[in-house]
Each structure stands twice: as structure tokens, then as C-alpha cells.
């Protein structure tokens, strides 16, 4: 462990506190982030908790800090883009995700980003295939598969996954963004 990283035991203690008392946990997490300003895991965790609490602007700011600290923190970059995407900013998400194109074509985060971009461009069947490929390759973050699976299920429920609803007046992207499922 380098001197720039918070000890994992401290992070684990904050996670346990978050499970018991979110406000106290966020306060403790904020204190850790001030003590360890070069540890991108801390603002990423904060952003994740804030997104779960539907505090999207604060979540975006925290995740942006994580990516600013560690531009190669691919999971934080993906989640920052996903937060923007599900908030209605598909174009901004694509900008955030652009560095993920350097990952291997089979990397789950690249596949997820490309799939979501395809959906935003109303190329939903292609997007679903890319997301499913990402899910099949994702062995490091099962909760992300859950989110992607929910998205695909919502598309299928609406009949948008095969292109059969292309005549709809509301774009497929707008439909997804309006779903409460993605407004955690």
C-alpha cells in the first residue's frame, strides 16, 4: 500500500457504518477523503452512496473527483458516465466513456458503454447484444450485471430490444431515461 491510499481497514469500517447509519457513514467517508485526498476509491464510494440516496448532483461531483484523481479508474469512469446517461445526458456520458474505447473489445466496461451508446442512437438490438456480451465477460462486478440486466429487461418489456417499435414517437433512449428503474 502506498502512502497515498487509505488503509482498507478504514474503508471497511466506513462501509460497515454506512450500513448502520448512512448520514454518519457519509460524514466519516468525507473525513477519510479529506485525510487521503489522492485515494480515488473514497470519492467513488461517496458517489456510489449518494447516487443510491438519489442525490445525483452530489454523486456526480464525487465521481468526477474520483476520475480526476485517477483517470485510469475505469469502473469510476464507467459509473460516472452511467450516472450522466441515466440522468438524460447520453452525449455527456459518451464523452466520459471515450477513454474506455482503449480497453480490449471484450472488456465488460467497454461493451457496456458501447451498448448504451448504441441504445442512445436508437440502435437498440445492437446495443442489447453489446451489453449481453459485457455481462457474459463481467467477472469482477456482479452488481453491474444486475443494472445492465434490468435495463435489458425494461427494453424487452417495452418491446424495444428488437427494433420492432422503431416508429414510436418517443425515442428508445428517452423511454429508458423516463423509467423510474433508472432513477435510483
182 versus 116: the higher-pLDDT residue is 116
Q: Using only C-alpha atoms, what is the Rg of the chain?
A: 17
pLDDT level of residue 178 (50, 70, 90 thresholds): very low
Dist. CA 81–CA 87, nearest whole Å: 10
Over residues 23-55, the pLDDT tens digits come to: 999 999 999 999 999 999 999 999 999 999 999
Enumerate the domain spans of the chain: 1-71, 78-184
Position 158 pLDDT exceeds 60: yes
- The whole-model pTM stands at 0.85
The tens digit of pLDDT for each residue in 58-69 reads: 999 999 999 999
CATH architecture, domain defined by 1-71: Alpha Horseshoe (1.25)
pLDDT value of residue 82: 95
Q: What is the distance between the alpha carbons of residues 134 and 98, in angstroms, rounded to a whole number?
A: 17
pLDDT, greater one: 39 or 165: 39
When the pLDDT of each residue in the chain is averaged and rounded to a whole number, the result is 89
Give pLDDT, residue 164: 55
| Helix ranges restricted to H, 36-168 | 41-52, 56-69, 74-86, 90-97, 108-120, 124-137, 142-157
Answer whether residue 107 shows pLDDT above 50: yes
Split at pLDDT 50, 70, 90, the class of 159 is confident
Amino acid at each position: 500500500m502506498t502512502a497515498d491510499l487509505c488503509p482498507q481497514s478504514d474503508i471497511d469500517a466506513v462501509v460497515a457504518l454506512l450500513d448502520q447509519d448512512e448520514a454518519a457513514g457519509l460524514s466519516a467517508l468525507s473525513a477519510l477523503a479529506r485525510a487521503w485526498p489522492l485515494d480515488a476509491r473514497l470519492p467513488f464510494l461517496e458517489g456510489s452512496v449518494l447516487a443510491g440516496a438519489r442525490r445525483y448532483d452530489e454523486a456526480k461531483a464525487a465521481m468526477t473527483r474520483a476520475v480526476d484523481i485517477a483517470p485510469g479508474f475505469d469502473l469510476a469512469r464507467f459509473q460516472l458516465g452511467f450516472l450522466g446517461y441515466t440522468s438524460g445526458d447520453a452525449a455527456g456520458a459518451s464523452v466520459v466513456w471515450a477513454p474506455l474505447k482503449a480497453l480490449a473489445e471484450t472488456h465488460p466496461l467497454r461493451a457496456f458503454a458501447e451498448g448504451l451508446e448504441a441504445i442512445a442512437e436508437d440502435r437498440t438490438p445492437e446495443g442489447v447484444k453489446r451489453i449481453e456480451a459485457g455481462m457474459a465477460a463481467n467477472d469482477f462486478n456482479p452488481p453491474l450485471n444486475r443494472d445492465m440486466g434490468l435495463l435489458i429487461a425494461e427494453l424487452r418489456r417495452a418491446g424495444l430490444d428488437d427494433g420492432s417499435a422503431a416508429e414510436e414517437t418517443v425515442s428508445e433512449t428517452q423511454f429508458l431515461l423516463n423509467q423510474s428503474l433508472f432513477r435510483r
